[in-house]
Amino acid sequence: MNSINAEKITEGAAYFRETQFLQDVIHGLSQSPKSLPCKYFYDERGSILFTEICKTEEYYITSTELTLLDEILPDIARLVGRNANIIEYGSGEGRKIRHLLAALDNPKSYTPIDISAEILLRSTSQLKREFPQIIIHPVVGDYMSHIRLPEVVASDRINHRVVFFPGSTISNFSPDEAQAFLGRINALLKPGDGLLLGVDLLKSPNRLHEAYNDKEGVTADFNLNLLRRINNELGADFDRHQFEHYAFFNMELSRIEMHLVSLKNQTVHIAGHRFHFKCGETIHTENSYKYTIEDVAKLGIACGFNHIKAWTDHNALFSIHYLMRA
């Protein structure tokens, strides 16, 4: 019951790499302005680089969330209750879920969902050793579209599901996408089931700018790694040295924007397509919306959740919310 089907996971990864990845890249670069989906940051090297970002002096999100999570775990455990079935979207290396699973009262199962098969396999194998009493069902998938959960997890006989969505990944969604995503989670849950959500808070633009432009240049490498991945997996001919990382806070839209800026007039070839770039033209690679506590509560209510509780760190940098399906 706790086995990991590596063959199915690998097949799922191949689907994204060979089919959807190419379609999304061609579509994004055909738009005006050009864009690329941020979900494709996370190949194996991208996931490693993101882990390095989390260790930089400027990037407060991960360390602040982990500290806050540890402080409030007793409260969370009381709200979640016994015998919960945990589903995590964008599970990554599984650093935060370890804290949660260890604190909960007899969790029955854990379903990690991630687009990176390599990271998912590695983290699931380790979690299986650390939590042998918990049934683990890894799923390769893009949570921005419909996720087909394992039958044993999707069954109506499964009681008390809790979705864990940390890291303020919801900040990467547009307001409409965030509402649609929470609507899909709501449809998965039953009344009384929970959603544990990490959300970055609106704060000083200077603090936000520093977080996405670290002195070591790790975020720049992370952003540029997307071009390396497209070259390696789709046979493109991006010259990464002719693009530059650019991130800034858009005050009107309350979001950080990340771009890759073309440093000259150039043409890139991908799978028989030609994409022309003017000097200074950008590829929009990511948004990170910043919320207030009230924003999150309103979003949850609009999507059929009761906003039960919100916690913040002492500096009001980050928030964790527990919502319950109404």
pLDDT by residue (tens digit) across 173-218?
999 999 999 999 999 899 999 999 999 999 999 999 999 999 999 9
Predicted TM-score (pTM) of the model is 0.88
Q: State the average pLDDT over residues 88-113.
A: 93
User: Rg for the chain (alpha carbons), in Å?
Assistant: 20
Cα 247 from Cα 257, distance rounded (Å): 5
For 189-200, write each residue's pLDDT tens digit: 999 999 999 999
Domain 61-203+290-325, architecture per CATH: 3-Layer(aba) Sandwich (3.40)
Please, where are the H alpha helices in 60-215? Answer: 61-80, 95-103, 117-130, 151-154, 175-188, 205-211
Range(s) within the chain of domains with CATH label 3.40.50.150: 61-203+290-325
